[in-house]
Amino acid sequence: MGRLTGKVALITGAARGMGESHARCFIAEGAKVVLTDVSEQAGQALADELGGNALFLKHDVTCARSWAEVVAKAESVHGHINVLVNNAGILGPVANTLALSEADYLKVCNVNQHSVFLGMQAVLPSMLKAGIGSIVNISSIAGMAANYGFPNLAYVASKFAVRGMTKATAVEYGNRNIRVNSIHPGFIQTPMMVEATNESGGDALSLIPLGRIADPKEVSNLVLFLASDEASYITGSEYLVDAGMLAQ
């Protein structure tokens, strides 16, 4: 029996990068997984590879109607959702505050922050019906420490917001057997990181005590733990996966 046997999980931004890694991990541990993304071709190909317990749905995480449609379809296929991984996110432009346009600021916050609100709001009723739930919100080390290079004010603002939203929802729904935690990755080997730096992490290696970029599986292992019943007494907490960057 897998560590997530009997769980129905919804993972956003699941077509590539960390989301893909989380989906592979969850399937291997026995969950029924709904993978969502705007990248339809890649997402469907991954679901086909993962087999019958994987369902791909095209999904705009910034749209409340899209969330409602995804949750309804997921419930019709697999039943009540009891795990949500709010993984979808974007970096936005590298720009200081004076150069950051309002449009870019709002776009980053819409994807990184507002989608987390919409996701929790859409999935909580399903978890309440199930009588149990675990929400894992993927933030960033930029949600713990502000620093130009992550890569703009909007990114930092959105990731700090996810941290606070996580704690507020954890307090509100703890007595309903729903746990909410946030994960704050550092430099992870994903397409988004490569786009922002390069294959080796650019200048970031000099900032990392362990001296290397993480494999996405090293984040997925923590997501798996928090999603599982092994973390039954853990809620409202934040977890760094940063190889000691913020310990300095």
Residue type, 120: M
Q: Is 235 helix (H, G, I), strand (E, B) or coil?
A: coil
Kindly tell me the sign of the dihedral angle through the C-alpha atoms of 26, 114, 119, 246.
positive
Query: Which residues are annotated as catalytic?
Result: 155
Distances (CA, A) of 177 to 10, 132, 156, 180, 183: 18, 5, 30, 10, 20
Alpha helices in the chain (DSSP H): 17-28, 40-50, 64-78, 102-109, 115-130, 153-173, 191-196, 217-227
